[in-house]
Structure 1
Amino acid sequence: MTRRDLPAATIRTQLTLPLRFADGFATAARVFTFDGLVDGREHVALGLGEHALPVARPTAGDWRAAAPPLVRLHSECLTGDVLGSQRCDCGPQLAEAVRRITREGGFLLYLRQEGRGIGLYAKLDAYVLQDTGLDTYDANLALGYAADERTYAAAAQMLHALGQEDVALLSNNPDKGDQLECHGITVSERVPTGVHLNAANGRYLAAKADRGGHTLDGVWGDEPESAGS
């Protein structure tokens, strides 16, 4: 893919935020906000583990990491992250990422692009269409959107602003790494996430593998009979 240059973003604010999850897991995050993001959205970066300490003007050398930081690009999902919806795997992936990055040191970028970029109301409209038999990608297309409208240019800007030009990417989605590299971030390692299969999200996960190219090899057996999203 052709390298695309981006305008520089800058860190707007940073603060320490104590976190506690429903299962009792607790950690501290260094939360960064930004000015100059190309899409104008309010994305945030969470520094976890050794990257949770305050840094006035972060550069790649500030944390003195022996290896590239573990980085997760996580797209906002109100239904999964907050309400615990079983129709997707977003909530479990978020919890997994926070734990793993806290242990290994790195950043979780929380990106405000609900429903693969189409927004909350449209995502819920897509759920209605999924209940008639469409998969998650065809439902977006039926509503007049692209199958996946997410872009990761702002995520690359955030990493540049944090001084992180070389990362280990925690993701099963090859498009994330491809887009980061297109914007000047070196993805030195692609680290798979767990596959969080439940009785309601089998068709959704299968569509991500078959239609979205997500690397979920070796997971599939019989699809749960009640899978419907």
Structure 2
Amino acid sequence: MTENIGAFGGKNPRRSGTERVVNTPLPTAYGQFQAVGYLDHDRGDEQVALVHGDIGTENVLVRLHSECLTGDAFGSQHCECGEQLSAAMRAVVAEGAGVVLYLRGHEGRGIGLLAKLRAMALQAEGLDTVEANLALGLPVDARDYRVAAEMLHDLKVRSVRLMSNNPRKREALTKYGIEVAEQVPLLIEPSENNITYLRTKRERLDHHLPHLDAVAHGS
């Protein structure tokens, strides 16, 4: 913990790390969850863990879901994010226990909402998602998963079965001390609006998307 100087010259503590702030029942269309709210003091972001059932500590079914306003709230078919969030919530309810971490600050793989929309405009002109970010002078993926690991540590989770097609999420959790016992595919049927985006994720970002092999390349 660090200290800063207050308005009248006194020292006030400035907290760091991730703090649990609230825990409340959250009934959803998928089932009953506990919404555990956190404050990331380092970034100022408010975060939430959706916890279903008695999760225990080992081999917990977990999804790290990056915030995506266009997909999660508006049902955009440019990506598969909204459908992945729904599928993850259904999966943990079917399992009887699990956690969905909704990671704010991850919009557009960490570049922010407006930058993501600018990148989407470039994609509409023919660039892929990687090329569009680079054309804007932005990183291809700026996400950090420190807060996700800290939330899991607070929930006493030691090892997870990670619902993800992205190997970087597995690597990040391992880096922050969470064992990944298994990576569980979260495959969404592609549409004509997102097939190019999904192929780019597989070919340029190493996402494991074997189901795309069944889709004709001209689609």
Q: TM-score, normalised by structure 2?
A: 0.86
Instruction: Give how far 1:42 is off.
Output: 1.2
- Opposite residue 182 of structure 2, the aligned amino acid is E
- Opposite residue 44 of structure 1, the aligned amino acid is V
Aligned residue pairs, count: 201
Aligned to 2:210, the other structure's residue is in SS state: coil
Alignment equivalent of 1:102, drawn from 80, 85, 93: 93
Tell me whether 72-81 or 189-198 shows the greater mean CA deviation: 189-198
C-alpha distance in 2, partners of 1:183/1:92? 28
Alignment equivalent of 1:9, drawn from 9, 18, 36: 18
C-alpha distance in 1, partners of 2:45/2:216? 40
The alignment yields a C-alpha RMSD, in angstroms, of 1.6
Alignment equivalent of 1:222, drawn from 192, 212, 216: 216
Which stretches in structure 2 are left out of the alignment for 5+ residues? 1-15
Identify the residue that residue 158 of structure 2 maps to in structure 1. Answer: 165
C-alpha distance in 1, partners of 2:178/2:38? 18
Which stretches in structure 1 are left out of the alignment for 5+ residues? 1-6, 21-25, 52-62
Q: Cα gap change, 1:19/1:185 in structure 2, threshold over 3 Å: closer, same or farther? A: same
Question: Percent of aligned positions with the same letter in both sequences?
Answer: 44
- Opposite residue 179 of structure 2, the aligned amino acid is T
Identify the residue that residue 37 of structure 2 maps to in structure 1. Answer: 33
- Opposite residue 9 of structure 1, the aligned amino acid is T
C-alpha distance in 2, partners of 1:96/1:27? 12
Q: TM-score, normalised by structure 1?
A: 0.83
Check the 8 A contact 1:93/1:196 in 2, yes or no. Answer: no
C-alpha distance in 1, partners of 2:56/2:113? 39
Between structure 1 and structure 2, the one with the greater Rg is 2
C-alpha distance in 2, partners of 1:218/1:139? 25
Where relative contact order (Cα < 8 A, 6+ residues apart) is larger, the structure is 1
Counting only pairs closer than 5 Å after superposition, residues 60-139 of structure 1 correspond to structure 2 as: 63-64=55-56, 68-104=59-95, 105-112=97-104, 113-139=106-132
Structure with the higher strand share, 1 or 2: 2
